[in-house]
Chains A and B, each alone.
Chain A
Amino acid sequence: MEQKKDCYILGIESSCDETAAAVVKNGREICSNIISSQIDLHTLYGGVVPEIASRKHMEKINQVIEEALKVAGTTLDQMDAIAVTYGPGLVGSLLVGVSAAKAIAYAKKLPLVGVHHIEGHVAANFIEHPELEPPFICLIVSGGHTHLVIVKDYGEFEILGRTRDDAAGEAFDKVARSIGLGYPGGPKIDKIAKEGNPNAIVFPKAKVDGAPFDFSFSGIKSSVLNYLNHAKMRGETVNSADLAASFQRAVVDVLVEHAVLAAKQYGFHKLAMAGGVASNSALRIAMSQACEKEKIQLYYPSPIYCTDNAAMIGVAGYYEFIKGTRHGWNLNAVPGLKLGER
Protein backbone atom coordinates (compact mmCIF):
# COMPACT_ATOMS: atom_id res chain seq x y z
CA MET A 1 0.00 0.00 0.00
CA GLU A 2 1.23 3.46 -0.82
CA GLN A 3 2.31 5.38 2.22
CA LYS A 4 0.38 8.56 2.89
CA LYS A 5 2.46 11.62 2.13
CA ASP A 6 2.91 14.28 4.79
CA CYS A 7 1.03 17.51 4.20
CA TYR A 8 2.84 20.79 4.91
CA ILE A 9 1.12 24.17 5.14
CA LEU A 10 2.90 27.51 5.37
CA GLY A 11 0.74 29.83 7.46
CA ILE A 12 1.08 33.61 7.32
CA GLU A 13 -0.54 36.10 9.70
CA SER A 14 -0.37 39.92 9.71
CA SER A 15 -3.83 41.09 10.72
CA CYS A 16 -2.85 43.42 13.55
CA ASP A 17 0.54 44.05 15.16
CA GLU A 18 2.27 40.69 14.95
CA THR A 19 4.03 39.55 11.79
CA ALA A 20 4.02 35.77 11.88
CA ALA A 21 4.74 32.68 9.83
CA ALA A 22 4.63 28.98 10.67
CA VAL A 23 4.97 25.58 9.10
CA VAL A 24 2.31 23.04 10.09
CA LYS A 25 2.57 19.33 9.32
CA ASN A 26 -0.51 17.16 8.80
CA GLY A 27 -2.83 19.70 10.33
CA ARG A 28 -1.76 19.70 13.96
CA GLU A 29 1.99 19.32 14.24
CA ILE A 30 3.77 22.66 14.55
CA CYS A 31 7.16 22.51 12.85
CA SER A 32 7.86 26.18 13.43
CA ASN A 33 6.05 29.21 14.81
CA ILE A 34 7.78 32.54 14.27
CA ILE A 35 6.26 35.72 15.66
CA SER A 36 7.66 39.22 15.35
CA SER A 37 5.78 41.44 17.75
CA GLN A 38 5.57 45.20 17.35
CA ILE A 39 4.10 45.77 20.79
CA ASP A 40 6.93 47.97 22.11
CA LEU A 41 6.54 50.31 19.16
CA HIS A 42 2.81 50.81 19.69
CA THR A 43 3.15 51.20 23.45
CA LEU A 44 4.49 54.70 22.73
CA TYR A 45 1.12 55.61 21.26
CA GLY A 46 -1.12 53.80 23.76
CA GLY A 47 -2.46 51.42 21.13
CA VAL A 48 -1.89 50.00 17.68
CA VAL A 49 -1.26 52.69 15.05
CA PRO A 50 -2.39 51.14 11.74
CA GLU A 51 0.10 52.92 9.47
CA ILE A 52 3.03 52.10 11.73
CA ALA A 53 1.86 48.48 11.97
CA SER A 54 1.65 48.19 8.18
CA ARG A 55 5.14 49.57 7.73
CA LYS A 56 6.57 47.23 10.32
CA HIS A 57 4.94 44.24 8.63
CA MET A 58 6.77 45.20 5.43
CA GLU A 59 10.07 45.11 7.31
CA LYS A 60 9.46 41.69 8.83
CA ILE A 61 7.34 39.70 6.43
CA ASN A 62 10.08 37.96 4.42
CA GLN A 63 12.23 37.46 7.49
CA VAL A 64 9.56 35.59 9.46
CA ILE A 65 8.64 33.43 6.47
CA GLU A 66 12.27 32.51 5.79
CA GLU A 67 12.79 31.82 9.49
CA ALA A 68 9.67 29.62 9.68
CA LEU A 69 10.84 27.52 6.75
CA LYS A 70 14.35 27.28 8.15
CA VAL A 71 13.36 26.32 11.70
CA ALA A 72 11.01 23.68 10.28
CA GLY A 73 13.87 22.34 8.17
CA THR A 74 11.73 22.67 5.08
CA THR A 75 11.73 24.59 1.82
CA LEU A 76 8.86 26.11 -0.13
CA ASP A 77 9.07 23.18 -2.52
CA GLN A 78 7.83 20.86 0.24
CA MET A 79 4.75 22.95 0.95
CA ASP A 80 1.34 21.73 -0.15
CA ALA A 81 -0.40 25.07 0.26
CA ILE A 82 -0.03 28.61 1.54
CA ALA A 83 -2.58 29.73 4.13
CA VAL A 84 -2.98 33.40 4.95
CA THR A 85 -5.20 35.50 7.18
CA TYR A 86 -7.33 37.73 4.94
CA GLY A 87 -9.67 39.15 7.60
CA PRO A 88 -10.85 40.47 9.91
CA GLY A 89 -8.21 42.96 11.01
CA LEU A 90 -6.51 46.19 9.99
CA VAL A 91 -6.71 46.48 6.23
CA GLY A 92 -3.19 47.86 5.75
CA SER A 93 -1.71 45.13 7.93
CA LEU A 94 -3.71 42.35 6.30
CA LEU A 95 -2.66 43.49 2.82
CA VAL A 96 1.03 42.91 3.52
CA GLY A 97 0.51 39.25 4.42
CA VAL A 98 -2.09 38.67 1.73
CA SER A 99 0.02 40.26 -1.04
CA ALA A 100 3.16 38.36 -0.06
CA ALA A 101 1.29 35.05 0.40
CA LYS A 102 -0.38 35.38 -2.99
CA ALA A 103 2.92 36.15 -4.72
CA ILE A 104 4.64 33.17 -3.07
CA ALA A 105 1.80 30.79 -3.89
CA TYR A 106 1.71 32.11 -7.44
CA ALA A 107 5.45 31.85 -8.01
CA LYS A 108 5.60 28.32 -6.55
CA LYS A 109 2.33 27.23 -8.23
CA LEU A 110 0.86 26.32 -4.84
CA PRO A 111 -2.78 26.43 -3.76
CA LEU A 112 -3.75 29.56 -1.83
CA VAL A 113 -6.09 29.26 1.14
CA GLY A 114 -7.47 32.42 2.76
CA VAL A 115 -8.13 31.95 6.47
CA HIS A 116 -10.47 33.80 8.82
CA HIS A 117 -8.41 35.14 11.72
CA ILE A 118 -10.92 34.04 14.36
CA GLU A 119 -11.20 30.56 12.85
CA GLY A 120 -7.46 30.49 13.35
CA HIS A 121 -7.85 31.32 17.05
CA VAL A 122 -10.40 28.51 17.43
CA ALA A 123 -8.09 26.11 15.58
CA ALA A 124 -5.25 26.98 18.01
CA ASN A 125 -7.01 24.56 20.38
CA PHE A 126 -6.28 21.61 18.08
CA ILE A 127 -2.52 22.06 18.40
CA GLU A 128 -2.08 20.80 21.95
CA HIS A 129 -5.26 18.73 22.21
CA PRO A 130 -5.03 15.99 19.58
CA GLU A 131 -8.20 14.42 20.96
CA LEU A 132 -10.27 17.58 20.48
CA GLU A 133 -12.57 17.43 17.49
CA PRO A 134 -15.75 19.30 16.62
CA PRO A 135 -18.44 19.72 17.67
CA PHE A 136 -17.80 21.80 20.78
CA ILE A 137 -18.62 25.18 22.29
CA CYS A 138 -16.01 27.88 21.93
CA LEU A 139 -15.65 31.22 23.68
CA ILE A 140 -13.58 33.57 21.54
CA VAL A 141 -12.23 36.54 23.47
CA SER A 142 -9.63 38.95 22.16
CA GLY A 143 -8.88 42.63 21.70
CA GLY A 144 -11.14 42.79 18.68
CA HIS A 145 -13.66 39.99 19.20
CA THR A 146 -16.00 38.42 21.69
CA HIS A 147 -18.02 35.52 20.34
CA LEU A 148 -19.70 32.48 21.78
CA VAL A 149 -20.07 29.84 19.10
CA ILE A 150 -20.79 26.19 18.41
CA VAL A 151 -17.94 24.80 16.35
CA LYS A 152 -20.08 22.35 14.34
CA ASP A 153 -17.27 21.10 12.15
CA TYR A 154 -13.86 22.35 10.98
CA GLY A 155 -14.53 25.85 9.71
CA GLU A 156 -18.27 25.65 10.42
CA PHE A 157 -19.73 27.83 13.12
CA GLU A 158 -23.05 28.67 14.63
CA ILE A 159 -22.87 31.98 16.45
CA LEU A 160 -24.79 31.90 19.74
CA GLY A 161 -23.74 35.28 21.04
CA ARG A 162 -21.44 38.20 20.51
CA THR A 163 -20.59 41.52 22.06
CA ARG A 164 -22.98 44.36 21.34
CA ASP A 165 -20.26 46.98 21.72
CA ASP A 166 -16.66 46.68 22.88
CA ALA A 167 -14.69 43.45 22.69
CA ALA A 168 -13.62 42.01 26.05
CA GLY A 169 -9.96 42.76 25.38
CA GLU A 170 -10.85 46.29 24.33
CA ALA A 171 -12.51 46.86 27.71
CA PHE A 172 -9.33 45.62 29.41
CA ASP A 173 -7.26 48.05 27.34
CA LYS A 174 -9.52 51.01 28.08
CA VAL A 175 -9.72 50.34 31.81
CA ALA A 176 -5.97 49.79 31.98
CA ARG A 177 -5.42 53.15 30.32
CA SER A 178 -7.82 54.88 32.73
CA ILE A 179 -5.89 53.67 35.75
CA GLY A 180 -2.57 54.49 34.13
CA LEU A 181 -1.36 50.95 33.43
CA GLY A 182 -0.78 51.57 29.74
CA TYR A 183 -0.96 49.32 26.72
CA PRO A 184 -1.56 46.42 26.29
CA GLY A 185 -4.10 46.35 29.08
CA GLY A 186 -4.96 42.66 29.35
CA PRO A 187 -1.73 41.28 30.82
CA LYS A 188 -1.27 44.38 32.98
CA ILE A 189 -4.69 44.15 34.59
CA ASP A 190 -4.24 40.42 35.02
CA LYS A 191 -1.01 41.03 36.90
CA ILE A 192 -2.09 43.86 39.19
CA ALA A 193 -5.46 42.20 39.89
CA LYS A 194 -3.63 39.36 41.63
CA GLU A 195 -2.87 41.78 44.46
CA GLY A 196 -6.38 43.19 44.67
CA ASN A 197 -9.69 42.19 46.19
CA PRO A 198 -12.15 41.17 43.47
CA ASN A 199 -15.09 41.86 45.83
CA ALA A 200 -13.97 45.38 46.74
CA ILE A 201 -16.16 47.17 44.21
CA VAL A 202 -19.33 45.87 42.59
CA PHE A 203 -19.50 46.65 38.88
CA PRO A 204 -22.52 45.80 36.72
CA LYS A 205 -22.43 42.50 34.84
CA ALA A 206 -21.80 42.71 31.11
CA LYS A 207 -25.16 41.17 30.21
CA VAL A 208 -27.77 42.04 27.61
CA ASP A 209 -31.45 41.68 28.51
CA GLY A 210 -33.23 39.00 26.53
CA ALA A 211 -30.05 37.75 24.85
CA PRO A 212 -28.56 35.18 27.24
CA PHE A 213 -25.41 34.63 25.19
CA ASP A 214 -24.63 38.21 24.14
CA PHE A 215 -22.20 40.49 25.93
CA SER A 216 -21.93 44.22 26.51
CA PHE A 217 -18.76 45.67 27.95
CA SER A 218 -19.31 49.38 27.45
CA GLY A 219 -21.49 49.67 30.57
CA ILE A 220 -18.90 48.19 32.88
CA LYS A 221 -16.21 50.29 31.26
CA SER A 222 -18.29 53.44 31.93
CA SER A 223 -18.86 52.34 35.53
CA VAL A 224 -15.14 52.08 36.05
CA LEU A 225 -14.60 55.54 34.60
CA ASN A 226 -17.45 56.96 36.72
CA TYR A 227 -16.01 55.33 39.80
CA LEU A 228 -12.63 56.92 39.08
CA ASN A 229 -14.16 60.34 38.46
CA HIS A 230 -16.23 60.25 41.64
CA ALA A 231 -13.19 59.27 43.65
CA LYS A 232 -11.20 62.06 42.07
CA MET A 233 -13.90 64.64 42.89
CA ARG A 234 -13.99 63.50 46.48
CA GLY A 235 -10.24 63.60 46.63
CA GLU A 236 -10.03 59.88 47.44
CA THR A 237 -7.21 57.70 46.25
CA VAL A 238 -8.24 54.63 44.33
CA ASN A 239 -6.72 51.26 45.03
CA SER A 240 -5.79 50.27 41.48
CA ALA A 241 -5.32 46.61 42.38
CA ASP A 242 -8.80 46.38 43.92
CA LEU A 243 -10.32 48.20 41.00
CA ALA A 244 -8.55 45.99 38.44
CA ALA A 245 -9.51 42.83 40.33
CA SER A 246 -13.14 43.92 40.66
CA PHE A 247 -13.40 44.93 37.02
CA GLN A 248 -11.77 41.71 35.90
CA ARG A 249 -14.10 39.68 38.05
CA ALA A 250 -17.19 41.36 36.59
CA VAL A 251 -15.99 40.55 33.06
CA VAL A 252 -14.84 37.03 33.85
CA ASP A 253 -18.06 36.12 35.68
CA VAL A 254 -20.17 36.89 32.64
CA LEU A 255 -17.82 35.14 30.22
CA VAL A 256 -17.92 32.01 32.39
CA GLU A 257 -21.68 32.11 33.04
CA HIS A 258 -22.52 32.48 29.36
CA ALA A 259 -20.08 29.87 28.12
CA VAL A 260 -21.16 27.26 30.69
CA LEU A 261 -24.83 28.02 30.11
CA ALA A 262 -24.33 27.52 26.37
CA ALA A 263 -22.60 24.18 26.90
CA LYS A 264 -25.38 22.98 29.21
CA GLN A 265 -28.23 24.28 27.12
CA TYR A 266 -26.91 22.77 23.88
CA GLY A 267 -25.72 19.57 25.56
CA PHE A 268 -21.99 19.86 24.94
CA HIS A 269 -19.40 18.40 27.25
CA LYS A 270 -16.52 20.09 25.50
CA LEU A 271 -15.78 23.79 25.87
CA ALA A 272 -12.82 25.63 24.37
CA MET A 273 -11.49 29.15 24.75
CA ALA A 274 -9.59 31.10 22.13
CA GLY A 275 -8.02 34.52 21.58
CA GLY A 276 -5.68 36.71 23.57
CA VAL A 277 -8.00 37.10 26.58
CA ALA A 278 -8.08 33.29 26.91
CA SER A 279 -4.61 33.75 28.45
CA ASN A 280 -6.11 35.72 31.34
CA SER A 281 -5.33 33.78 34.51
CA ALA A 282 -8.54 34.74 36.36
CA LEU A 283 -10.62 33.62 33.38
CA ARG A 284 -8.73 30.32 33.20
CA ILE A 285 -9.21 29.64 36.90
CA ALA A 286 -12.88 30.61 37.01
CA MET A 287 -13.70 28.70 33.83
CA SER A 288 -11.83 25.60 35.05
CA GLN A 289 -13.76 25.62 38.33
CA ALA A 290 -17.12 26.10 36.63
CA CYS A 291 -16.42 23.40 34.06
CA GLU A 292 -15.25 20.95 36.71
CA LYS A 293 -18.48 21.49 38.60
CA GLU A 294 -20.57 20.91 35.49
CA LYS A 295 -18.44 17.97 34.25
CA ILE A 296 -17.45 19.84 31.13
CA GLN A 297 -14.03 19.19 29.59
CA LEU A 298 -12.27 22.55 29.18
CA TYR A 299 -9.67 23.27 26.52
CA TYR A 300 -7.51 26.30 25.97
CA PRO A 301 -4.25 26.89 24.14
CA SER A 302 -0.93 27.82 25.72
CA PRO A 303 -0.39 31.59 25.81
CA ILE A 304 1.89 31.43 22.77
CA TYR A 305 -1.02 30.06 20.71
CA CYS A 306 -3.55 32.46 22.27
CA THR A 307 -1.72 35.50 21.00
CA ASP A 308 -1.84 36.23 17.26
CA ASN A 309 0.30 33.62 15.56
CA ALA A 310 0.58 31.85 12.23
CA ALA A 311 0.60 28.28 13.55
CA MET A 312 -3.13 28.59 14.19
CA ILE A 313 -3.58 29.95 10.64
CA GLY A 314 -1.69 26.95 9.30
CA VAL A 315 -3.93 24.60 11.29
CA ALA A 316 -7.17 26.29 10.21
CA GLY A 317 -5.74 26.51 6.69
CA TYR A 318 -5.05 22.77 6.66
CA TYR A 319 -8.67 21.90 7.39
CA GLU A 320 -9.83 24.37 4.73
CA PHE A 321 -7.28 22.93 2.31
CA ILE A 322 -8.42 19.32 2.71
CA LYS A 323 -12.02 20.49 2.33
CA GLY A 324 -11.06 21.96 -1.03
CA THR A 325 -11.14 25.68 -0.21
CA ARG A 326 -9.02 27.61 -2.73
CA HIS A 327 -8.68 31.31 -3.27
CA GLY A 328 -7.72 33.07 -6.50
CA TRP A 329 -4.96 35.56 -7.25
CA ASN A 330 -7.54 38.29 -6.75
CA LEU A 331 -7.93 37.49 -3.04
CA ASN A 332 -8.39 40.76 -1.18
CA ALA A 333 -7.99 41.70 2.47
CA VAL A 334 -11.42 41.91 4.10
CA PRO A 335 -11.12 43.95 7.31
CA GLY A 336 -14.71 43.26 8.39
CA LEU A 337 -14.84 39.58 7.42
CA LYS A 338 -17.66 37.80 9.27
CA LEU A 339 -17.20 34.48 11.03
CA GLY A 340 -18.13 31.57 8.77
CA GLU A 341 -18.03 33.81 5.67
CA ARG A 342 -15.99 32.76 2.63
Chain B
Amino acid sequence: MKILGIESSSLVASVAILTDDVITAEYTVNFKKTHSQTLLPMIDEVVRMTETNLEEIDAIAVSGGPGSFTGLRIGSATAKGLGLALEKPLIHVPTIEAMAYGCFRSNDMICPIMDARRNQVYTGIYWFEGETMKEVLKPCAMDLCDLIKEINKYQREVLFLGDGIPVYREKMIQILEVPYHFAPSFMNRQRGAVVAELGAKYYVEGRIEHAREHLPDYLRKSQAEREREAKLHAST
Protein backbone atom coordinates (compact mmCIF):
# COMPACT_ATOMS: atom_id res chain seq x y z
CA MET B 1 0.00 0.00 0.00
CA LYS B 2 1.23 3.46 -0.91
CA ILE B 3 -0.14 6.64 0.62
CA LEU B 4 0.91 10.20 -0.15
CA GLY B 5 0.51 12.44 2.89
CA ILE B 6 0.07 16.20 2.51
CA GLU B 7 0.16 18.71 5.36
CA SER B 8 -0.08 22.49 4.87
CA SER B 9 -2.47 23.63 7.58
CA SER B 10 0.00 26.01 9.23
CA LEU B 11 3.43 27.49 8.55
CA VAL B 12 4.69 23.93 8.19
CA ALA B 13 4.65 22.37 4.74
CA SER B 14 5.22 18.63 4.92
CA VAL B 15 4.77 15.75 2.52
CA ALA B 16 5.50 12.06 2.96
CA ILE B 17 5.19 8.76 1.18
CA LEU B 18 4.18 5.74 3.22
CA THR B 19 4.97 2.42 1.56
CA ASP B 20 3.31 -0.36 3.58
CA ASP B 21 4.67 0.32 7.06
CA VAL B 22 7.70 2.35 6.03
CA ILE B 23 7.90 6.10 5.57
CA THR B 24 10.04 6.00 2.45
CA ALA B 25 10.33 9.77 2.31
CA GLU B 26 9.28 12.78 4.32
CA TYR B 27 10.05 16.38 3.45
CA THR B 28 9.18 19.06 6.00
CA VAL B 29 9.82 22.77 5.77
CA ASN B 30 8.90 25.18 8.52
CA PHE B 31 10.02 28.39 6.95
CA LYS B 32 8.45 31.52 5.56
CA LYS B 33 8.01 30.61 1.89
CA THR B 34 4.43 30.29 0.75
CA HIS B 35 3.00 26.81 0.41
CA SER B 36 1.68 27.55 -3.05
CA GLN B 37 5.26 27.82 -4.24
CA THR B 38 6.74 25.00 -2.17
CA LEU B 39 4.19 22.22 -1.78
CA LEU B 40 4.08 20.72 -5.26
CA PRO B 41 7.88 20.95 -5.77
CA MET B 42 8.21 19.12 -2.43
CA ILE B 43 5.83 16.39 -3.59
CA ASP B 44 7.79 16.14 -6.83
CA GLU B 45 11.00 15.78 -4.82
CA VAL B 46 9.80 12.90 -2.62
CA VAL B 47 8.23 11.18 -5.61
CA ARG B 48 11.47 11.37 -7.58
CA MET B 49 13.71 10.43 -4.65
CA THR B 50 11.68 7.29 -4.01
CA GLU B 51 11.27 6.52 -7.73
CA THR B 52 7.54 6.43 -7.13
CA ASN B 53 5.19 6.02 -10.04
CA LEU B 54 2.28 8.26 -9.10
CA GLU B 55 -0.17 5.78 -10.59
CA GLU B 56 0.90 3.27 -7.90
CA ILE B 57 -0.36 5.46 -5.08
CA ASP B 58 -3.49 4.02 -3.48
CA ALA B 59 -4.77 7.24 -1.95
CA ILE B 60 -3.87 10.79 -1.06
CA ALA B 61 -4.16 11.68 2.62
CA VAL B 62 -4.50 15.35 3.38
CA SER B 63 -4.47 17.24 6.61
CA GLY B 64 -8.03 18.54 6.49
CA GLY B 65 -8.05 21.26 9.11
CA PRO B 66 -8.49 23.26 11.12
CA GLY B 67 -5.73 25.72 10.40
CA SER B 68 -4.83 28.62 8.17
CA PHE B 69 -7.70 28.92 5.68
CA THR B 70 -5.34 29.58 2.80
CA GLY B 71 -2.88 26.89 3.86
CA LEU B 72 -5.67 24.33 4.08
CA ARG B 73 -6.96 25.26 0.65
CA ILE B 74 -3.56 24.93 -0.98
CA GLY B 75 -3.17 21.43 0.47
CA SER B 76 -6.72 20.37 -0.27
CA ALA B 77 -6.83 21.83 -3.80
CA THR B 78 -3.53 20.10 -4.56
CA ALA B 79 -4.92 16.81 -3.22
CA LYS B 80 -8.15 17.31 -5.18
CA GLY B 81 -6.20 17.94 -8.38
CA LEU B 82 -4.03 14.87 -7.83
CA GLY B 83 -7.08 12.77 -6.99
CA LEU B 84 -8.92 13.94 -10.10
CA ALA B 85 -5.98 13.33 -12.43
CA LEU B 86 -4.89 10.01 -10.94
CA GLU B 87 -8.45 8.84 -10.25
CA LYS B 88 -7.50 8.02 -6.67
CA PRO B 89 -9.48 8.59 -3.49
CA LEU B 90 -8.66 11.17 -0.87
CA ILE B 91 -8.45 10.62 2.87
CA HIS B 92 -9.43 13.51 5.10
CA VAL B 93 -7.20 13.39 8.18
CA PRO B 94 -8.23 15.87 10.88
CA THR B 95 -5.20 18.05 11.58
CA ILE B 96 -5.52 18.09 15.37
CA GLU B 97 -6.01 14.34 15.48
CA ALA B 98 -2.89 13.75 13.38
CA MET B 99 -0.87 16.01 15.68
CA ALA B 100 -2.01 14.02 18.71
CA TYR B 101 -1.38 10.69 16.96
CA GLY B 102 2.24 11.75 16.52
CA CYS B 103 2.60 11.26 20.31
CA PHE B 104 1.69 7.58 19.95
CA ARG B 105 1.15 5.77 23.29
CA SER B 106 2.13 8.73 25.37
CA ASN B 107 1.04 8.21 28.98
CA ASP B 108 0.02 11.84 29.20
CA MET B 109 -3.12 13.46 28.06
CA ILE B 110 -2.27 14.99 24.66
CA CYS B 111 -3.34 18.50 23.75
CA PRO B 112 -2.39 19.99 20.37
CA ILE B 113 -2.86 23.76 20.18
CA MET B 114 -2.69 25.80 17.02
CA ASP B 115 -2.81 29.57 17.21
CA ALA B 116 -6.20 30.62 15.86
CA ARG B 117 -5.69 34.38 16.59
CA ARG B 118 -8.17 36.50 18.50
CA ASN B 119 -7.03 34.83 21.74
CA GLN B 120 -8.31 31.49 20.50
CA VAL B 121 -6.71 28.18 19.71
CA TYR B 122 -7.66 25.26 17.51
CA THR B 123 -7.37 22.36 19.83
CA GLY B 124 -8.58 18.96 20.99
CA ILE B 125 -7.79 16.56 23.84
CA TYR B 126 -6.73 12.92 23.43
CA TRP B 127 -5.28 10.04 25.35
CA PHE B 128 -4.16 6.57 24.47
CA GLU B 129 -5.69 3.42 25.84
CA GLY B 130 -3.21 0.83 24.67
CA GLU B 131 -2.75 1.52 20.98
CA THR B 132 -6.11 3.17 20.60
CA MET B 133 -6.31 6.91 20.70
CA LYS B 134 -9.40 8.22 22.48
CA GLU B 135 -10.86 11.59 21.63
CA VAL B 136 -11.74 13.43 24.84
CA LEU B 137 -12.41 16.82 23.30
CA LYS B 138 -13.09 16.89 19.58
CA PRO B 139 -11.25 19.45 17.42
CA CYS B 140 -12.66 22.93 17.94
CA ALA B 141 -11.78 26.60 18.14
CA MET B 142 -11.84 27.79 21.71
CA ASP B 143 -10.64 30.45 24.07
CA LEU B 144 -7.28 29.49 25.55
CA CYS B 145 -8.41 30.07 29.16
CA ASP B 146 -11.47 27.87 28.65
CA LEU B 147 -9.22 25.13 27.29
CA ILE B 148 -6.89 25.25 30.30
CA LYS B 149 -9.89 25.18 32.67
CA GLU B 150 -11.09 22.07 30.82
CA ILE B 151 -7.66 20.45 31.11
CA ASN B 152 -7.44 21.23 34.83
CA LYS B 153 -10.65 19.25 35.34
CA TYR B 154 -9.06 15.95 34.27
CA GLN B 155 -6.27 16.13 36.85
CA ARG B 156 -3.89 14.31 34.50
CA GLU B 157 -0.42 15.15 33.26
CA VAL B 158 -0.70 16.87 29.93
CA LEU B 159 1.57 17.07 26.92
CA PHE B 160 1.18 20.15 24.72
CA LEU B 161 2.33 20.54 21.15
CA GLY B 162 1.71 22.93 18.28
CA ASP B 163 2.44 26.45 17.15
CA GLY B 164 0.11 27.87 19.80
CA ILE B 165 2.73 27.16 22.48
CA PRO B 166 5.18 29.98 21.69
CA VAL B 167 2.21 32.38 21.51
CA TYR B 168 0.47 31.38 24.77
CA ARG B 169 3.14 29.65 26.88
CA GLU B 170 3.30 32.29 29.65
CA LYS B 171 -0.44 32.55 29.98
CA MET B 172 -0.82 28.76 30.04
CA ILE B 173 1.77 28.30 32.78
CA GLN B 174 -0.04 30.86 34.92
CA ILE B 175 -3.36 29.06 34.94
CA LEU B 176 -2.41 25.38 34.59
CA GLU B 177 -3.10 23.34 37.74
CA VAL B 178 -1.86 19.99 36.43
CA PRO B 179 1.68 18.83 35.62
CA TYR B 180 2.49 19.77 32.01
CA HIS B 181 5.07 19.18 29.32
CA PHE B 182 5.83 20.84 26.03
CA ALA B 183 6.79 18.45 23.23
CA PRO B 184 10.34 18.78 21.84
CA SER B 185 11.02 20.19 18.38
CA PHE B 186 10.82 16.96 16.36
CA MET B 187 7.32 16.20 17.58
CA ASN B 188 5.75 19.57 18.22
CA ARG B 189 4.56 20.44 14.71
CA GLN B 190 2.37 18.91 12.01
CA ARG B 191 4.07 16.18 9.98
CA GLY B 192 3.20 14.67 6.62
CA ALA B 193 4.37 11.27 7.88
CA VAL B 194 1.68 11.16 10.57
CA VAL B 195 -0.96 12.29 8.06
CA ALA B 196 0.11 9.45 5.77
CA GLU B 197 0.15 6.89 8.62
CA LEU B 198 -3.23 7.88 9.99
CA GLY B 199 -4.46 8.09 6.39
CA ALA B 200 -3.42 4.47 5.81
CA LYS B 201 -5.35 3.45 8.91
CA TYR B 202 -8.46 5.24 7.66
CA TYR B 203 -7.96 3.79 4.19
CA VAL B 204 -8.08 0.26 5.59
CA GLU B 205 -11.25 1.19 7.48
CA GLY B 206 -12.77 2.48 4.25
CA ARG B 207 -12.88 6.08 5.42
CA ILE B 208 -12.10 7.55 2.01
CA GLU B 209 -13.78 10.23 -0.07
CA HIS B 210 -14.02 11.17 -3.73
CA ALA B 211 -11.68 14.02 -4.67
CA ARG B 212 -14.73 15.96 -5.91
CA GLU B 213 -16.36 15.79 -2.48
CA HIS B 214 -13.34 16.62 -0.37
CA LEU B 215 -13.42 19.93 1.51
CA PRO B 216 -11.27 21.27 4.31
CA ASP B 217 -12.83 21.52 7.73
CA TYR B 218 -12.27 25.15 8.68
CA LEU B 219 -14.11 24.92 12.01
CA ARG B 220 -14.87 28.60 11.64
CA LYS B 221 -17.16 30.57 9.40
CA SER B 222 -15.82 33.48 7.42
CA GLN B 223 -15.78 36.83 9.17
CA ALA B 224 -18.48 38.19 6.83
CA GLU B 225 -20.80 35.29 7.67
CA ARG B 226 -20.19 35.68 11.41
CA GLU B 227 -20.91 39.40 11.26
CA ARG B 228 -24.00 38.89 9.17
CA GLU B 229 -25.36 36.28 11.56
CA ALA B 230 -24.62 38.50 14.55
CA LYS B 231 -26.53 41.33 12.87
CA LEU B 232 -29.50 39.10 12.05
CA HIS B 233 -29.45 37.74 15.57
CA ALA B 234 -29.35 41.22 17.10
CA SER B 235 -32.31 42.36 15.01
CA THR B 236 -34.58 39.48 16.06
Contact = CB atoms under 8 A, between A and B. Distances in A.
Interface of A: 44-45, 49, 51-52, 54-55, 58-59, 61-63, 65-66, 76, 91-92, 95-104, 106-108, 328-333
Interface in B27-67: 34, 36-41, 43-44, 54
The 8 A-B residue pairs with the shortest CB-CB distance, nearest first, are A103-B81, A107-B85, A99-B77, A51-B222, A100-B81, A329-B40, A62-B212, A49-B224
Contacts of A108: 85
A97 B76 CA distance: 11
Nearest to A47: B224
A125 to B, nearest CB: 30
Given A61-B80, A62-B211, A51 B223 contact: yes
9 contacts: A55-B218, A61-B80, A66-B212, A99-B36, A99-B77, A106-B81, A106-B82, A107-B85, A330-B38
B34 A332 contact: yes
Q: What range describes how many residues of B lie at the interface? A: 35 or more
A52 B224 contact: yes
Given A95-B74, A100-B78, A103-B80, A51 B69 contact: yes
A85 to B, nearest CB: 14
Contacts of B216: 58
B77 A44 contact: no
B142 interface: no
Max chain B C-beta neighbours (<10 A), residue from A49, A55, A92, A97: A55
Contact of A58 (B38, B215, B225): B215
Contacts of A331: 36-37
Given A66-B84, A92-B73, A99-B74, A106 B40 contact: yes
A99 B35 CA distance: 10
B138 interface: no
A44 B225 CA distance: 10
Contact of B86 (A59, A66, A107, A330): A107
Nearest to A333: B36
A179 to B, nearest CB: 23
Given A62-B84, A99-B77, A107-B82, A92 B69 contact: yes
Contact of A102 (B69, B81, B225): B81
A324 B216 CA distance: 36
B79 interface: yes
B77 A330 contact: no
Contact of B81 (A44, A45, A49, A99): A99
Interface string B71-97: 001101111111111100000000000
A65 B80 CA distance: 11
Contacts of B215: 58-59
Given A49-B224, A62-B211, A66-B212, A99 B73 contact: yes
Contacts, number: 107
Nearest to A110: B85
A93 B77 CA distance: 11
Nearest to B212: A62
A108 B34 CA distance: 24
B43 A62 contact: no
A39 to B, nearest CB: 15
B81 A101 contact: yes
Nearest to A51: B222
Max chain B C-beta neighbours (<10 A), residue from A62, A101, A331: A62
A107 B78 CA distance: 10
Given A52-B225, A102-B81, A103-B82, A58 B36 contact: no
Contacts of A45: 224, 228
Interface in B159-212: 211-212
Contacts of B225: 49, 52
B70 interface: yes
Contacts of A63: 212
Contact of A61 (B41, B77, B86): B77
Given A51-B69, A330-B41, 12 more contacts: A45-B224, A49-B222, A58-B216, A62-B81, A62-B211, A95-B36, A99-B73, A100-B77, A103-B77, A103-B78, A103-B82, A329-B40
Nearest to A94: B36
A65 B224 contact: no
A329 B81 CA distance: 13
A58 B76 CA distance: 8
B222 A52 contact: yes
Contacts of B40: 99, 102-103, 106, 329-330
Given A51-B223, A329-B40, A95 B79 contact: no
Given A92-B70, A106-B40, A329-B41, A100 B80 contact: yes
Given A95-B70, A107-B86, A330-B37, A55 B222 contact: yes
